[in-house]
Structure 1
Amino acid sequence: MTLVHGKQETTPGGHRPWATLPDCKEVLVVVHTAVYGQRLHDIYSLLGSDLRVNVQFTVAPHAFNGGAQAHIRLLGAPVLPWAQAVRREFDLVLAAGSQGLEHLRGPLVRLPHGAGHIKLSRAAGADGERSVSGLGAEYVTWNGRLVPEAYALAHRDDLAELGRGCPQALPIAEVVGDACHDRIAAALPARAHYRAALGLRPGERLVLVCSTWGSGSLFTRLDAVLPRLAAELPRHGYRTALLVHPNVAAAHGQWQVRSWATATARGAVTVLPPEVDWRPLLVAADFIIGDHGSVTLYGSMTGAPILLAEYPHRDVNPRSPGALLARTAPALAPGHPLTGQLDYAAEQYRPEEYRAIADRITSEPGRFDHNMRRLLYRILGLGQPAHAPEPPALALPAPLPTPPGGPLDGLPAPLPLGSGRA
């Protein structure tokens, strides 16, 4: 490190002689978007308490990186400028996206940024086929060479997809499991606590509306779905919350997203901010209305009946658990009362069918932290800390705003959910 105009700077090799702990292993977390940053949190947290490791963050070029810097600063971490990051050497690089990674120096561990590898790539390859998003050669190679040193996958089925899309990457692939799956599974027994934190009363039903981003998302039908929720669901007995993929706000602005949603919902739906942790909401939900996004797929774990409001079959990997969900969950119908459709979804709910879908999310249930930490420390060349990983429980969410009119006593009894949840 040298001093330039009174500022400490690292040497080209990244050595920091002026730091209090100058001999740490240097880890770079690459945040392409706020979503990728949320996804990576469960990974770099495995390193955060180790005094031998120094974790830094940078924002990589990406069309949807609006909000990425704010995400990092909410952690209390500085943002290493991308122009400096590409000049440094790191002992480990973590990323959930692919753009720009070929410019970084250091062994890269790549993670998926969603569940189930549901989507197909937008463009077809030279053979006319569309690869599975994240598992084609365009996502893991640059000029014919592999960019990651390791690709951490959630399920054994992902190896078969990777073999189709980029067989040269199979030697670097490692099945470690899925952090969000494990966090949700651990939180489900405490569902009542999450519902109480949200301010839900006994017997009150939470309808969670989930939209991914893009032309095939539920958001494109917001003006058809939200007015129905506002007009048809009784205000007393139901609470409705809208969860929108942060990429929508990154493209259009959070003010615009909130304005669109609030206007179409007539104030009857709580619009959740893009930085909210969606997992406690999913744990607490009684019903899910969704699309082909990862959040809807994770909903298959919870026991909540699912209605699909939008599903672009041509853009979905037909072998994915998302496609299986589309063949299982009932579709929202335009010509029938919404409450009756929720009743129907509850009556038709078969726990074993949804368990089969959820089982496709990870083939290492409950093992993500153990497997992932082992992989990270192997690449760092360090022995693991002498204790089992201790992932924190999902934080209790903030209360949902009280809907207009407020909740009243005498709420109707809950619908007989097929999952038999408390």
Structure 2
Amino acid sequence: MSEKPDPPPSFRPKVPVDPAYDHWLTYGVEKRILVVTRTVTTVTRLLDILSLLEDDHRVQPVFTFDDRRPAVFSAGLTELLTSLGAAVVPWSQARTAEFDLAVAASENDDLAELRCPVLLVPHGIGHQKYYPRTKTISGLNPARLRGDRLHVGLSHGNQLGHVRGKSAVVIGDPCHDRMLASAHRVPHFRRVLGAADRTHVVLASTWGPQSLIGSNPSLPHRFLAELPLDEYRVSLVLHPGVWSAHSPLQVRAVLASARRGGLTLIPPQRGWQATILSADCLVSDCGSMPLYASAAGVPVVIGSPVADTVVAGSPLADLVARAPRLDESALPDQVAAAIASGPVAGPAAEAVEYPGKCAEILRALLYELLDLPEPSRPAAFPPVDDPVPEYEAPTALRVGVEAAGDDLLVRRFPASVPGAPLPGQHIVAHAELATLAELEGAAVVHRSAGADFAGWAAETARRRPNARLLAETAPGLCRVWTDGVITDLPAAVDPLVLASAAHWRTVRGLPLTDLRVR
């Protein structure tokens, strides 16, 4: 091996390394990229860019963040970098060390302090928002776009007028194109999210008082109270800033009853793109999510006030003006109408130019700035990651049963979320997993099939006198106990649906034969 100069001090390992096995020389590193992070959101956008450099041993990324002036939403940043196993240097070293290129997704750090070319990219879908209480476009503050080595990457050519006098290039949108590259995985994503055979309604909220959740914190509860569990799956995607500002503990706490009611919560940066792709309908606000969803062909409903931070005349302003608005009418009807109408055409195309070409454009730009020959293999983004949903199956259900011709129509909702009275309403609770309050008010108590059903049922009936029917279930079987009589009901549907139908007949003194439910 030919002799090479020692790496700069900022890159030297913290422990001595045998000169015959220098980690920085093993892989033939020629160029070093400084990845300037600020929040969890910026990290994920920058990881999209770094994916274009995978398999190239010539390039070494090193991460940094300005610990002198941390972002408001910086909580969780160091934990994410640690989980990535990334090489991280302090800002003081990043400012003085020699790098070949820096990439950043926020202009709020003093990028002019760096001693290398800088590529600045958006951390949302283009530049659709003003900074709060200003008319300065977020991401394009001219007072912060300083330095003669700064290059600004834009998602669409219609933004060039905002950066006159700066080196700017239209690159498209990496996140948008990664979602395009993942469309074939939607059936898989839906199975992971438990939405394979249900209408998937996704609630997506940015941060701030004018956001979807900021303006209506109880909205997830309303959707769970109105959309039957057997027909719908409701997921919630919150901007990482919400998790950062309030803490994961508080986010989960304020959603406790909704989570017990079957709300699927998507952790920050653990699959929001896949969740949006798998949606049948997105209910959102004036953040980036509606544009990403529209670009993916997902119908959008706006469920918040029109934020005063939306840039006038922007694609986001156009989408918000044209999309249906959530109102107080029945949610199933609104969701069905939005799905039937389809996505709003036009605004997404004005937000992202060159769809499907970003990897090709951006990789060529990166290698030009690095002064390296571009690899011969085609430039392509990897598919987005699988979602990692937080989901709890409800352990107590509020069930309505009514006659529909010769059939019984059964609709089920989580008992942890109050809702309008249902015909034939009763509570179905798991004997061991439901809360004590839910059990004491339950008309149907159930367990998984086990030994001595008769003994268990008799003891449960003694302890739960309000229970009119006791049941144990297994795939294809529902065994019920009523007034000491045990009946096996072959279950062609969910056994607990059959148990609720049996309860409806029991309270009316009707036989438990030829049960037909839907």
TM-score (norm 2): 0.69
Three-state SS of the structure 1 residue aligned to 2:345 is helix
> Which stretches in structure 1 are left out of the alignment for 5+ residues?
11-15, 125-129, 411-422
* 1:247 CA displacement: 0.9
Q: State whether residues 46 and 104 of structure 2, in contact with CA within 8 Å, keep that contact through their aligned partners in structure 1.
A: yes
Listed one character per residue, the Cα deviations across residues 346-386 of structure 1 (whole Å, up to 9, x for unaligned) are 3333x5xx231221221111111110011111111111011
Listed one character per residue, the Cα deviations across residues 106-141 of structure 1 (whole Å, up to 9, x for unaligned) are 1100000001312112244xxxxx122112303413
Mapped to 2, the partners of 1:122 and 1:195 lie a distance apart of: 36
Are positions 1:396 and 2:386 aligned together?
Answer: yes
Which residue of the other structure, out of 33, 36, 54, is the alignment partner of 1:30?
36
1:255 corresponding residue in structure 2 = 249
> Which stretches in structure 2 are left out of the alignment for 5+ residues?
1-5, 16-20, 398-411, 413-492, 496-518
Q: CA 1:395–1:227 in 2, change beyond 3 Å: closer, same or farther?
A: closer
Mapped to 1, the partners of 2:372 and 2:131 lie a distance apart of: 37
List aligned pairs for 1:88-127, cutoff 5 A. Answer: 88-98=97-107, 99-124=109-134
Mapped to 2, the partners of 1:24 and 1:177 lie a distance apart of: 28
Q: State whether residues 270 and 388 of structure 2, in contact with CA within 8 Å, keep that contact through their aligned partners in structure 1.
A: no
Are positions 1:63 and 2:85 aligned together?
Answer: no
Q: CA 1:74–1:9 in 2, change beyond 3 Å: closer, same or farther?
A: closer
Q: State whether residues 260 and 392 of structure 2, in contact with CA within 8 Å, keep that contact through their aligned partners in structure 1.
A: no
Mapped to 1, the partners of 2:255 and 2:149 lie a distance apart of: 39
The structure, 1 or 2, with the larger RCO (C-alpha pairs under 8 Å, 6+ apart) is: 1
Three-state SS of the structure 2 residue aligned to 1:359 is helix
List aligned pairs for 1:120-135, cutoff 5 A. Answer: 120-124=130-134, 130-135=135-140
1:83 corresponding residue in structure 2 = 92
1:416 corresponding residue in structure 2 = none
1:415 corresponding residue in structure 2 = none
Q: State whether residues 95 and 108 of structure 1, in contact with CA within 8 Å, keep that contact through their aligned partners in structure 2.
A: yes
Q: State whether residues 177 and 368 of structure 1, in contact with CA within 8 Å, keep that contact through their aligned partners in structure 2.
A: yes
Which residue of the other structure, out of 339, 345, 348, is the alignment partner of 1:355?
345
Q: State whether residues 95 and 110 of structure 1, in contact with CA within 8 Å, keep that contact through their aligned partners in structure 2.
A: yes
Listed one character per residue, the Cα deviations across residues 203-253 of structure 1 (whole Å, up to 9, x for unaligned) are x11111100112221121343312211211111111111111111111111
Which residue of the other structure, out of 315, 328, 331, is the alignment partner of 2:309?
315
Which residue of the other structure, out of 276, 283, 294, is the alignment partner of 1:289?
283
Mapped to 2, the partners of 1:399 and 1:211 lie a distance apart of: 16
Listed one character per residue, the Cα deviations across residues 131-190 of structure 1 (whole Å, up to 9, x for unaligned) are 22112303413xxxx365211111111113x1xxx4222xx1000111111122222233
Mapped to 2, the partners of 1:23 and 1:221 lie a distance apart of: 50
Q: CA 1:187–1:218 in 2, change beyond 3 Å: closer, same or farther?
A: same
Mapped to 2, the partners of 1:402 and 1:192 lie a distance apart of: 21
Instruction: Give the aligned residue type for 2:349.
Output: D
TM-score (norm 1): 0.84
Mapped to 1, the partners of 2:309 and 2:24 lie a distance apart of: 49
2:333 corresponding residue in structure 1 = 340
Instruction: Give the aligned residue type for 1:255.
Output: L
Q: CA 1:235–1:83 in 2, change beyond 3 Å: closer, same or farther?
A: same
Q: Which shows bigger deviation, 340-349 or 65-74?
A: 340-349
Q: CA 1:159–1:409 in 2, change beyond 3 Å: closer, same or farther?
A: farther
Listed one character per residue, the Cα deviations across residues 237-278 of structure 1 (whole Å, up to 9, x for unaligned) are 111111111111111111111111234665331222113121
Three-state SS of the structure 2 residue aligned to 1:83 is helix
Mapped to 1, the partners of 2:226 and 2:23 lie a distance apart of: 64
2:370 corresponding residue in structure 1 = 380
Q: State whether residues 8 and 97 of structure 2, in contact with CA within 8 Å, keep that contact through their aligned partners in structure 1.
A: no
Q: State whether residues 216 and 310 of structure 1, in contact with CA within 8 Å, keep that contact through their aligned partners in structure 2.
A: yes
1:365 corresponding residue in structure 2 = 355
Listed one character per residue, the Cα deviations across residues 72-105 of structure 1 (whole Å, up to 9, x for unaligned) are 2222213212222122121000000122323222
Mapped to 1, the partners of 2:124 and 2:149 lie a distance apart of: 18
Q: State whether residues 198 and 400 of structure 1, in contact with CA within 8 Å, keep that contact through their aligned partners in structure 2.
A: no
Mapped to 1, the partners of 2:247 and 2:393 lie a distance apart of: 24
Q: State whether residues 108 and 147 of structure 1, in contact with CA within 8 Å, keep that contact through their aligned partners in structure 2.
A: no
2:164 corresponding residue in structure 1 = 167
Listed one character per residue, the Cα deviations across residues 307-352 of structure 1 (whole Å, up to 9, x for unaligned) are 111143422102211111111111111x311112212223333x5x
1:154 corresponding residue in structure 2 = 155
* 1:392 CA displacement: 1.6
1:127 corresponding residue in structure 2 = none
Q: State whether residues 117 and 133 of structure 1, in contact with CA within 8 Å, keep that contact through their aligned partners in structure 2.
A: yes
Q: State whether residues 204 and 237 of structure 2, in contact with CA within 8 Å, keep that contact through their aligned partners in structure 1.
A: yes
List aligned pairs for 1:184-263, cutoff 5 A. Answer: 184-202=179-197, 204-263=198-257
Q: Which shows bigger deviation, 63-72 or 174-183?
A: 63-72
Three-state SS of the structure 2 residue aligned to 1:151 is strand
Are positions 1:177 and 2:180 aligned together?
Answer: no
What do you get for the CA RMSD once the two structures are aligned? 2.6
- Aligned-pair identity (%): 34
* 1:17 CA displacement: 7.4
Which residue of the other structure, out of 274, 282, 290, is the alignment partner of 1:280?
274
Q: Count how many residue pairs are aligned between Structure 1 and Structure 2.
A: 383
Mapped to 2, the partners of 1:138 and 1:238 lie a distance apart of: 48
Instruction: Give the aligned residue type for 1:87.
Output: T
Q: Which has the larger radius of gyration?
A: 2
Q: State whether residues 205 and 213 of structure 2, in contact with CA within 8 Å, keep that contact through their aligned partners in structure 1.
A: yes
2:60 corresponding residue in structure 1 = 54
Instruction: Give the aligned residue type for 1:271.
Output: L
Mapped to 2, the partners of 1:19 and 1:189 lie a distance apart of: 39
Question: Which segments of structure 1 move beyond 6 Å, counting only runs of 4 or more?
Answer: none
Mapped to 2, the partners of 1:401 and 1:321 lie a distance apart of: 34
